[in-house]
């Protein structure tokens, strides 16, 4: 029931983001670089696509990280909760299950949306098909999903105590801050999650960026536990 309820609450959100993703990637495909069939130019062009995804990911946080165990999206700061949120909290299940189900469903939806990227590359860049195998594209999708989990969990954590509009703005600032921090020269490139989704992704290295993926999963776990602590101790 909780999974179905979560789907009913997010189906229009995922449709909205899918339309935005298709429109954005379609616009990219129409650029002059996309028409260049030379492999070096294509590689440079494709390397920028994960960067575009990382820049747009705050939108995923808002659309798919949702509102935590709240069930109504509201872009205006407000006091109290919507009636359906109180109904959700009154269900005979633990708050851990409420949060885990909602966060798990959103992450599955996010992984589905991120599958657009490898499918897009395979469809629009036929010159790269002889250099990329299906396993490379699958590894790329796995890398995107795991590296993105840290930012998704940031959205889940912020949703436990912020209104939707502040959650969105804070998520954007958080992603920009981490982009700036991880690109500093004093940090090893292996810890740069954004780089792992770009030039260090399996599309080019044909191997998983294990360090970046481990950092992302660790960060996601910490943020989820922090969100759970807030949910369990907060008086709604």
| pLDDT digit string, tens, across residues 48-93 | 555 566 566 656 666 676 555 565 555 554 554 554 565 666 666 7
Q: Which two tokens stand for residue 83?
A: 């009636």
The whole-number pLDDT of residue 218 equals: 94
The whole-number pLDDT of residue 202 equals: 86
The whole-number pLDDT of residue 73 equals: 52
The whole-number pLDDT of residue 208 equals: 92
Evaluate if residue 114 carries a pLDDT over 70.
yes
Bigger pLDDT: 213 vs 50: 213
- What is the value of pTM for the model shown? 0.80
Summarize the confidence of residues 102-112 as an average pLDDT. Answer: 84
Q: Dump the DSSP string for 197-218.
A: TTTTSHHHHSS--HHHHHHHHH
The whole-number pLDDT of residue 165 equals: 79
Whole-number Å distance between alpha carbons of 146 and 186: 24
Least confident range of 12-16, 39-43, 162-166, 204-208: 39-43
Evaluate if residue 230 carries a pLDDT over 80.
yes
Q: Spell out the alpha helix ranges (H) of the chain.
A: 2-29, 32-35, 39-64, 83-89, 95-114, 116-124, 134-159, 164-182, 193-196, 202-205, 210-233
**Is residue 152 classed as helix, strand or coil in its secondary structure?**
helix
The Cα-based distances of 27 to 22, 34, 71 in angstroms read: 8, 10, 33
């Amino acid at each position: 029931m909780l999974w179905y309820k979560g789907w009913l609450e997010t189906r229009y959100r995922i449709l909205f983001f899918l339309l935005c993703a298709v429109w954005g990637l379609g616009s990219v495909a129409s650029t002059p670089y996309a028409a260049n069939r030379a492999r070096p130019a294509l590689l440079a062009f494709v390397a920028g696509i994960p960067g575009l995804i990382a820049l747009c990911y705050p939108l995923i946080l808002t659309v798919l990280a949702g509102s935590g165990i709240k069930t109504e999206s509201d872009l205006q700061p407000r006091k109290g909760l919507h009636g359906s949120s109180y109904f959700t909290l009154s269900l005979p299940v633990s708050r851990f299950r409420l949060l885990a189900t909602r966060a798990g469903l959103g992450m599955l939806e996010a992984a589905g949306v991120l599958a657009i990227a490898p499918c897009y590359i395979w469809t629009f860049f036929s010159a790269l098909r002889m250099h990329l195998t299906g396993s490379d594209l699958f590894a790329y999708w796995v890398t995107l999903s795991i590296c993105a989990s840290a930012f998704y969990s940031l959205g889940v954590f912020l949703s436990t105590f912020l209104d939707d509009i502040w959650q969105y703005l804070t998520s954007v600032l958080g992603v920009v801050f981490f982009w700036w921090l991880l690109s500093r020269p004093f940090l090893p490139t292996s810890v740069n999650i954004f780089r792992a989704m770009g030039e260090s992704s399996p599309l080019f290295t044909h191997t998983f960026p294990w360090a970046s993926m481990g950092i992302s999963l660790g960060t996601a776990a910490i943020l989820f536990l922090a969100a759970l602590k807030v949910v369990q101790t907060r008086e709604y």
